[in-house]
Structure 1
Amino acid sequence: MHARHFLERSNEDNDLRVVALRFRLLRQQGYRVSCDVFNKFMDDEGKFKDSLITNVEGMLELYEAAHFGVSGEEILDKALEFSSSYLQSSASHTTSSLSALVNEALQFPIRKNLTRLAARKFISIYQEDASRNEILLNFAKLDFNIVQKIHQKELSDITRWWEALDSANKFPFARNRVVECYFWILGVYFEPQYNVARRMLTKVIALTSIIDDIYDWDVNDLEQLPPYMGICYKALLDVYLEMEAEVENGGGSYRVQYAKEEMKKLVRAYLEEAKWVYITKEDFDWVTSEPLIVRASCIICRLMDDMVGLEFEQKVTAVDCYMNEYGASKKETFAEFWKQVKKAWKDINEECLEPLPASMPVLMRVVNLARVINLLYERDDEYANSNTKTKQIVRSVLVDPIAV
Structure 2
Amino acid sequence: MASRLQFPNMGFYNNLPKPKDAKPPPLTLLLNRNTVSCPPQLRCLASSEHNQETARRSANYQPSSWSYNDLVDTTTNDDSKLRIQEGARKKLEEEVRNVLDDGKLEPVAMLELIDDIHRLGLGYKFRESTSTSLATLKISARQEALNSSLHSCSLYFRLLREHGFDITPDVFEKFKDENGKFKDSIAKDVGGLLSLYEASFLGFEGENILDEAREFTTMHLNNIKDKVDPRSAEEVNHALELPLHRRVERLEARRRIQSYSKSGETNQALLTLAKIDFNTVQAVYQRDLQDLTKWWKDTALADKLSFARDRLMESFFWAIGMSYDPQHSKSREAVTKTFKLVTVLDDVYDVYGSLDELEKFTAAAERWDVDAIKDLPDYMKLCYLSLFNTVNDLAYDTLKDKGENVIPIMKKVWADLLKAFLQEAEWMNNKYTPTFDEYLNNARFSVSGCVMLVHSYFSTTHNITKEAIHSLENYHDLLILPSIVFRLANDLSSSKAEIERGETVNSITCYMNETGLSEEQAREHISKLIDESFKKMNKQLIAASTSPFEKSFTETAINLARIALCQYQYGDAHSDPDVRAKDQIASIIISPVD
Shift of 1:377: 1.7
Matches within 5 A, 1:234-249: none
Deviation readout 1:314-370 (Å, 9 max, x if unpaired): 312222222223333222221221111111111111121145424321211111001
Give the structure with the higher percent helix: 1
CA contact (8 A) 2:205 2:535 kept: yes
Shift of 1:229: 3.3
Q: Which stretch shows the higher mean deviation, 180-189 or 384-393?
A: 384-393
The answer for the alignment partner of 2:212 in structure 1 is 78
Alpha-carbon distance in structure 2 between the residues aligned to 1:211 and 1:191? 29
Alpha-carbon distance in structure 2 between the residues aligned to 1:4 and 1:261? 42
The answer for the alignment partner of 1:311 in structure 2 is 496
Aligned pair partner of 2:238 in 89, 95, 104: 104
Q: Which stretch shows the higher mean deviation, 207-216 or 85-94?
A: 85-94
Matches within 5 A, 1:31-110: 31-110=165-244
Would you say 1:374 and 2:565 are equivalent positions?
A: yes
Aligned pair partner of 2:520 in 331, 355, 361: 331
Would you say 1:229 and 2:379 are equivalent positions?
A: yes
The answer for the alignment partner of 1:274 in structure 2 is 455
What's the secondary structure of 2:433's corresponding residue? helix
CA contact (8 A) 1:3 1:26 kept: no
Deviation readout 1:28-82 (Å, 9 max, x if unpaired): 1111211011010001122111111222111111011001001111110111111
Aligned pair partner of 1:253 in 432, 437, 448: 432
The answer for the alignment partner of 1:350 in structure 2 is 539
CA contact (8 A) 1:114 1:368 kept: yes
Would you say 1:283 and 2:482 are equivalent positions?
A: no
Deviation readout 1:212-238 (Å, 9 max, x if unpaired): 110011469x9xxx94236999xx9xx
Alpha-carbon distance in structure 1 between the residues aligned to 2:325 and 2:452? 20
Structure 1 residues 260 and 217, CA gap change in structure 2 (3 angstroms): farther
Alpha-carbon distance in structure 2 between the residues aligned to 1:269 and 1:4? 34
Deviation readout 1:80-113 (Å, 9 max, x if unpaired): 1111222223234334443332222222322101
Task: State TM-score, norm by structure 2.
Answer: 0.60
CA contact (8 A) 1:17 1:59 kept: yes
Alpha-carbon distance in structure 1 between the residues aligned to 2:426 and 2:305? 28
Aligned pair partner of 2:484 in 273, 291, 299: 299
Q: Which stretch shows the higher mean deviation, 199-208 or 344-353?
A: 199-208
Amino acid of the structure 1 residue aligned with 2:472: V
Structure 1 residues 202 and 9, CA gap change in structure 2 (3 angstroms): same
Structure 1 residues 258 and 16, CA gap change in structure 2 (3 angstroms): closer
The answer for the alignment partner of 1:359 in structure 2 is 550
What's the secondary structure of 2:485's corresponding residue? helix
The answer for the alignment partner of 1:340 in structure 2 is 529
Q: Which stretch shows the higher mean deviation, 183-192 or 97-106?
A: 97-106
Alpha-carbon distance in structure 1 between the residues aligned to 2:203 and 2:227? 28
Q: Which stretch shows the higher mean deviation, 335-344 or 1-10?
A: 1-10
Q: Which stretch shows the higher mean deviation, 282-291 or 24-33?
A: 282-291
Deviation readout 1:113-172 (Å, 9 max, x if unpaired): 111111110111100012112221111100111101111121122123223333332111
Alpha-carbon distance in structure 1 between the residues aligned to 2:330 and 2:153? 40
Structure 1 residues 138 and 331, CA gap change in structure 2 (3 angstroms): same
Alpha-carbon distance in structure 2 between the residues aligned to 1:48 and 1:64? 16
What's the secondary structure of 1:253's corresponding residue? coil
Structure 1 residues 200 and 232, CA gap change in structure 2 (3 angstroms): closer
Gaps of 5+ in 2: 1-134, 357-375, 384-418
Structure 1 residues 255 and 13, CA gap change in structure 2 (3 angstroms): same
Shift of 1:269: 6.4
Structure 1 residues 270 and 50, CA gap change in structure 2 (3 angstroms): closer
Would you say 1:216 and 2:367 are equivalent positions?
A: no
Amino acid of the structure 1 residue aligned with 2:456: K
Shift of 1:187: 0.6
Alpha-carbon distance in structure 1 between the residues aligned to 2:140 and 2:242? 27
The answer for the alignment partner of 1:136 in structure 2 is 270
Alpha-carbon distance in structure 2 between the residues aligned to 1:393 and 1:382? 10
Query: Which of the pair has more CA radius of gyration?
Result: 2
Structure 1 residues 383 and 11, CA gap change in structure 2 (3 angstroms): closer
CA contact (8 A) 2:449 2:486 kept: no
Amino acid of the structure 2 residue aligned with 1:194: H
Alpha-carbon distance in structure 1 between the residues aligned to 2:321 and 2:425? 41
Shift of 1:284: 2.8
Task: State TM-score, norm by structure 1.
Answer: 0.87
Counting matched residue pairs gives: 392
Q: Aligned-pair RMSD on alpha carbons?
A: 3.3
Q: Which stretch shows the higher mean deviation, 377-386 or 77-86?
A: 377-386
CA contact (8 A) 2:305 2:379 kept: no
Alpha-carbon distance in structure 1 between the residues aligned to 2:447 and 2:592? 40
Shift of 1:289: 3.1
Gaps of 5+ in 1: none
Would you say 1:386 and 2:571 are equivalent positions?
A: no
Structure 1 residues 83 and 4, CA gap change in structure 2 (3 angstroms): same
